[in-house]
Amino acid sequence: MEGRRVFVGLPASRELAEAAMEFRWRHRELKVRWVKPENLHLTMVPPWPCAAVDAVCRALQGAAASQAPFEVTFERVSFGPDSRRPRLVWATGKAPAAMPDFVRRLHAATGAPGEPRKSFLLHLTIARFNSHDFRAMGHRKLHEQVMWTGTLDSICLYESILKSSGAEYRELCRFTLTGRAF
Read off the pLDDT of residues 142-153 as tens digits, 9 standing for 90 and up: 889 999 999 999
For residue 90, tell me if it sits in a domain: yes
Band (114; pLDDT cuts 50, 70, 90): confident
> Does the pLDDT of residue 68 top 90, yes or no?
yes
Render pLDDT for 14-49 as a digit per residue (tens, 0 to 9). Answer: 999 999 999 999 999 888 999 999 999 999 999 999
Tell whether 182 is covered by a domain: no
Within-domain flag for 59: yes
- Which of the four pLDDT bands, split at 50, 70 and 90, describes residue 181? low
Residue 133 in this model has a pLDDT that exceeds 70: yes
Question: 137: domain range?
Answer: 4-176
62, pLDDT greater than 70: yes
Inter-helix orientation angle 99-110/53-65, to 10°: 150
Q: Between these two residues, 120 and 67, which has the higher pLDDT value?
A: 67
How far is residue 8's CA from residue 110's CA, in Å, rounded to a whole number?
A: 9
Asked if residue 28 belongs to a domain, the reply is: yes
Say if 181 falls within a structural domain: no
SS3 content of the chain, % helix, strand, coil (to 5): 25, 40, 35
Domain count, the chain: 1
Residue 57 belongs to domain with CATH number: 3.90.1140.10
| Cβ neighbours around 29 below 10 Å, total | 8
Any idea which residues carry the catalytic annotation?
41, 123
Does a structural domain hold residue 118?
A: yes
- Asked if residue 19 lies in contact with residue 72, where contact means CB atoms within 8 angstroms, the answer is no
